[in-house]
Structure 1
């Protein structure tokens, strides 16, 4: 899976999921504008009587332009979402094994 964060027709960054064991993810800054990008993996959990989103992994690209990688095992029965932020913009979506 590869998703792109865009602003004004420019690709600012990407969030990537490489389905391997363990699951590997990357965030990449694609636009040299002095700002990096940040990725998050969140899981929906039951807390008392309500469901809440909990951040399980959060990382950045390490600065302006470039990529950084993390490993995180997505459980088959878990409910997850991903998020990519940068330059005041963000995108997110469902994350499936």
Structure 2
């Protein structure tokens, strides 16, 4: 997991050899455990674009004033993923994003 390290000049920053597999616009990102976090970056809902690459999932904020400009998590540090498609509501993905070692 990395915060504010996957963007550069309003664009996406990819690793060498990393390719975009899919992307979705008008995505809302929120953190359930934000009340326990000391960091203001995790509070509230963030709107932007999600990119799924060959290595990780990356969120880029569409609001330039948002303190959380980008959020990236490698697939190997994601667990308990659930894809939900409710009858009366928007589709969503939920899961746990772990920090990188020493991160």
Give the shorter-chain TM-score range: 0.3 to 0.5
Greater helix share, structure number:
2
Greater strand share, structure number:
1
Using the size of structure 1 for normalisation, the TM-score is 0.33
Using the size of structure 2 for normalisation, the TM-score is 0.32
